[in-house]
Amino acid sequence: MKLVAGVDSSTQSCKVVIRDLITGEVVRSGHAKHPDGTEVDPNAWWHALESALEMAGGLDDVEAISIAGQQHGMVVLDESGRVIRPALLWNDTRSAQAALDLIAEFGVETLVTRTGSAPVASFTITKLRWLRDSEPANAAKVAAVALPHDWLTWRLCGYGPAGESALGPVLTELATDRSDASGTGYFNPETNQYDDLLVIAALGHRPILPRILVPGESVGPVVSGRSHAIVACGAGDNAGAALGLGARDGDIVVSLGTSGTIFAVTSTRPQDPSGTIAGFADASGIYLPIAVTLNAARILATISELLGVDFEELSRLALKATSGADGLVLVPYFEGERTPNLPNAKASLHGMSIASTTRENVARAAIEGMLCGLNAGMMALEQLGISGKRILLIGGAAQNIAVQEIARTIFTLPVELPVPGEYVAEGAAVQAAWAVTGERPEWPIEISAKYEPAVNAEVMKAYLEQAKKY
């Protein structure tokens, strides 16, 4: 049996899956936790990767490995390959003003034309500008800038700080793929090239940036132990999930993790000057227009705690309420919001009366608010002329029965529920297999449930009425 490995280095943890090269069957796995916070020492990710690989049985019998990771995070290295300061993660909003400054300097339409996206606080370009303005001494030391998966791939190939790695600080060996690069805010997904003017405008000088690999390309061999595995190019987490799901042109993916995402796989390059849709690249050679919310499963966790119930009871309560929660509307911007770009916003509950303010309605409003926020992204995709045939609903919160049932009242497309899986890591394994065989594998995806739309348009209408007040 030939094996390949895929890694999901997410905000919360590192997950590893080992899959059969031919069938795609997951034969073993491992995981390790990441530190909490919006800035993290990247070395913690490296140690977590080592632990997760050990739990998964190591790489001695593995043909190839690929790492998919959280997007946008800023890893800055000096000439000796050392991390200059803790990485700023995608969910660190301190660079919100930097995003506004860049838009003021270049104009939003120019930025969207050049990069496919309007910058927001999550993008790497804004974090570099923040570094230049807030920590100029650190900014001056920056010799190279990498994203989380770029840096981990580099370390796996044996590179790293002088005296702490087999091959040393060869910064020009940093590599990435177009999906992750497209989330930086200084990369053109149509030309597959960095925009040097934007990089310099952000940081103040042009550092070394990871070279862009094509789908199926490998970086080099693993340099550790007895492994003979090659290292594939890796991907951003959402692009990895798309590969893991086998998503093709016409598929819409809604992911309900701590944050929420809705993205399409399409051959049409999107350009949205409003900034609602980020025009990212996918990991197969086409595009992945995406809307991201900071608040998804955390909404359910917060309301569950408020009501003093677990997720199962929250589901039961929500299904006892009628569609629309008797006029109760939750706009769930608990931790600010990315889409729409409201980093300093807070949540609000509307339509409260003695009659409507029940435990059942509050539970229902939480789920409807979460899904409506993502459906707003669906509507934005449609306004760009991007239509879908089905929605693939994934993520931890997607396993909640009430979420599944209520989704059909919000989304206008059929909703399909793939069996639970580590789709980001499994998508990275697709890349690993691709690097071995030269072809994207066609591994089967099992669908556990299908829901035809039964839309109550009044729910979305009420949500938009309240959300537009922000």
> Hey, which residues are catalytic here?
237
Burial of residue 455 (CB within 10 Å: 0-12, 13-18, 19+) is: middle
Local structure of 260: helix, strand or coil: strand
Q: How far is CA 94 from the centre of its chain?
A: 19
Local structure of 415: helix, strand or coil: strand
Alpha helices in 11-123 (DSSP H): 42-55, 96-106, 108-115
Amino acid at 321: A
Query: Among residues 101, 118, 109, which one has the least CA distance to residue 278?
Result: 118
Strand 62-69 versus strand 235-236 pairing type: parallel
Q: How many helices (H) and strands (E) does the chain have?
A: 15, 24
Contacts of 121 (CB under 8 A, 6+ apart): 92, 93, 94, 95, 96, 98, 99, 338, 341, 343
Give the end-to-end CA distance of the chain in Å, rounded to a whole number. Answer: 56
Query: Among residues 406, 394, 398, 395, which one has the least CA distance to residue 360?
Result: 406
Contact 418, 448 (CB under 8 A): yes
Angle at 470 between CA 295 and CA 461, to 5 degrees: 80
The total number of residues written for the chain in this structure = 470
Contact 127, 95 (CB under 8 A): yes
CA distance linking residue 372 with residue 256, whole number of Å: 12
Amino acid at 214: V
